[in-house]
Amino acid sequence: MPKQSKVSTVSVIGLGYIGLPTAAMFASRKVKVIGIDINQHAVDTINQGKIHIVEPELDMVVHAAVAEGFLRASTKAEPADAFLIAVPTPFKDDHEPDLSYVRSAAESIAPVLKKGDIVILESTSPVGTTEQMLQWLAATRPDLCFPTEGAATTDIDVNIAYCPERVLPGHVIRELVENDRIIGGLSEACSKKAADIYRVFVTGELLFTNARTAEMAKLTENSFRDVNIAFANELSLISDKLDINVWELIKLANHHPRVNILQPGCGVGGHCIAVDPWFIVDKTPDEARMIRTAREVNDHKPEWVLGKINAAIAALTAAGREEASITVALMGLAFKPNIDDLRESPAVQIAKQFATATQSKLILVEPNIEIPPAHLADQKLASVEDAIAVADVVVLLVKHREFATIKEKLSSNTILIDAIGIDVA
């Protein structure tokens, strides 16, 4: 069970989909929290007791925490007892990990560190990133003693640990509390101190290991899922070529007591599964053959969907329609159902490529956002009803609840491309 912590002030650096809920959970346990973010809009919104992202229940927790004075946001680092870094870790064009956000976060808090503090990295990171973060901190604060091999516990001024998040968007508040947590300190003392921090609100088991294993565990979890999704996506390509209904195929195969095939989609997105496996490939390119292949299969799926859209347009033009007169509605832009998160979304990739390569009219439908993403700024969002009223081709890319009954609303002349199995539970 959570308990009262000895820590009086926690600072969370990065107030996004993980950082803000984490900050809110500490604040809900009456711990003073200073949230740090470079996004002034996010800071201002939070200080008004509101949220800038979509996550069930989070708005109520943040509003109460701000109103009671336990949560405050700022753009500049301030002293605290514990610092949790939850910033993005994307990759560059060649799939090389980009750790610039982690470095910036570490260097921003370094001036306010003091003896007795702990710095915890939560961002999903390549193996060795926690040790690299320590080097950045030590270079900025040579007056402080950080954990090093052979250093006595009594000589350490600032403890360092890696503790990855493992939550499901749409269920973050519950899973932050209930899920087991991996605690990977750079020393045993670092792990124990990090555990004291998380016991403020975590009811799940705290699992102790070293930082490198904790980093690899997070990458392993997401790579496991990526490989299994790739199997489902590859099945969808094979089934399409053999004129087999992949949804029926998977349903039948899953009746085997030891088979549990996942559902295919238009690709894989999000800040974790679409990115993390490449961190393993980057470190061990010769060994990570299956992980690389899975990434390539899933990265190819949007191209396959685009091919289906182009084939539908070709069929209409062959029947006498001008391409410029054809309207295509893309249903869904988020990377998964019923959220507003567009990070690494294959649906966005499909929309972007289609918009630049066709004369057909494009309609975007995404119920969870109010304006299109920057690279689709010249496109307009439409409601489900308005889109299907005029669309010649409807493409289901995300299984949002608003799309559940869309098939029965389509006219008999509308071409439907269902990349997600909208009827599959």
Span 249-279, pLDDT tens digits: 999 999 999 999 999 999 999 888 999 999 9
Let me know if residue 230 belongs to a domain: no
Q: Are residues 288 and 347 in the same domain?
A: yes
From 32, 190, 272, 399, the catalytic residue: 272
Which backbone phi and psi does 363 adopt, to 5 degrees? -120, 130
Q: Are residues 159 and 247 in the same domain?
A: no
Given a contact cutoff of 8 angstroms between Cβ atoms, the answer to whether 328 and 363 are in contact is yes
Let me know if residue 17 belongs to a domain: yes
- Give the end of a domain, one of 211, 232, 262: 211
CA angle 309–310–315, rounded 5-degree value = 100
Helix (H, G, I), strand (E, B) or coil at 124: coil
Given a contact cutoff of 8 angstroms between Cβ atoms, the answer to whether 58 and 28 are in contact is no
Q: Are residues 140 and 251 in the same domain?
A: no
Asked about 190 being catalytic, the answer comes back as no
E-strand stretches of 122-254 = 159-162, 181-185, 206-210
Q: Specify which residues 327 forms β-bridges with.
A: 361
Let me know if residue 275 belongs to a domain: yes
Let me know if residue 226 belongs to a domain: no
- Residue 301 confidence (pLDDT) above 80: yes
Q: How confident is the model at residue 224 (pLDDT cuts 50, 70, 90)?
A: very high
Give the span between the Cα atoms of 360 and 357, in whole angstroms. 9
Give the span between the Cα atoms of 198 and 178, in whole angstroms. 12
CA angle 258–264–268, rounded 5-degree value = 115
pLDDT at residue 92, rounded to an integer: 86
Q: Specify which residues 364 forms β-bridges with.
A: 330, 381
Provide the sign of the torsion angle of the four alpha carbons 34, 39, 41, 45, taken in this order.
Answer: negative
Q: Are residues 278 and 323 in the same domain?
A: yes
pLDDT at residue 196, rounded to an integer: 97
DSSP-assigned letter for residue 36: E
For residues 288-308, average pLDDT: 98
For residues 335-356, average pLDDT: 94
Domain count, the chain: 2
pLDDT at residue 410, rounded to an integer: 95
Let me know if residue 327 belongs to a domain: yes
For residues 61-77, average pLDDT: 98
- Give the end of a domain, one of 191, 211, 231: 211
Q: Specify which residues 162 forms β-bridges with.
A: 121, 184
Report the percent of the chain where pLDDT is more than 90: 88
Q: Are residues 29 and 160 in the same domain?
A: yes
Tally Cβ neighbours within 10 Å of residue 193: 24
Q: How confident is the model at residue 246 (pLDDT cuts 50, 70, 90)?
A: very high
pLDDT at residue 271, rounded to an integer: 82
Q: How far is CA 252 from CA 248, 249, 261, in A?
A: 6, 5, 10
Residues near 373 by beta carbon (within 8 Å), at least 6 away in sequence: 333, 342, 348
Q: Which two tokens stand for residue 80?
A: 């605290």
Q: Are residues 264 and 183 in the same domain?
A: no
- Give the end of a domain, one of 211, 230, 256: 211
pLDDT at residue 3, rounded to an integer: 53
Span 21-41, pLDDT tens digits: 999 999 999 999 999 999 999
Q: Is 318 exposed, middle or buried (0-12, 13-18, 19+ CB in 10 A)?
A: exposed
- Say what the alpha-carbon torsion angle 35, 375, 366, 341 is, to the nearest 10 degrees: -30
Q: Are residues 186 and 61 in the same domain?
A: yes
Q: Are residues 111 and 57 in the same domain?
A: yes
Let me know if residue 228 belongs to a domain: no
DSSP-assigned letter for residue 205: P
- Residue 8 confidence (pLDDT) above 80: yes
Q: Are residues 308 and 258 in the same domain?
A: yes
From 163, 190, 193, 218, the catalytic residue: 218
pLDDT at residue 355, rounded to an integer: 94
Question: Could you identify the residue written with the tokens 């003091």?
Answer: 114
- Residue 6 confidence (pLDDT) above 80: no
Tally Cβ neighbours within 10 Å of residue 80: 24
Give the span between the Cα atoms of 237 and 223, in whole angstroms. 21
DSSP-assigned letter for residue 381: B
Give the span between the Cα atoms of 51 and 126, in whole angstroms. 30
Q: 357: domain CATH number?
A: 3.40.50.720
Mean pLDDT estimate for the chain: 95
Give the span between the Cα atoms of 161 and 182, in whole angstroms. 10
Let me know if residue 83 belongs to a domain: yes
Let me know if residue 379 belongs to a domain: yes
Asked about 30 being catalytic, the answer comes back as no
pLDDT at residue 148, rounded to an integer: 82
Q: Are residues 175 and 135 in the same domain?
A: yes
Supply the range of the domain harboring residue 257.
Answer: 242-418
pLDDT at residue 373, rounded to an integer: 86
pTM score, two decimals?
A: 0.90
Q: Are residues 207 and 333 in the same domain?
A: no
Compute the chain's Rg from CA coordinates. Answer: 24
Q: CA nearest 40: which of 74, 84, 11?
A: 74
Q: Are residues 251 and 199 in the same domain?
A: no
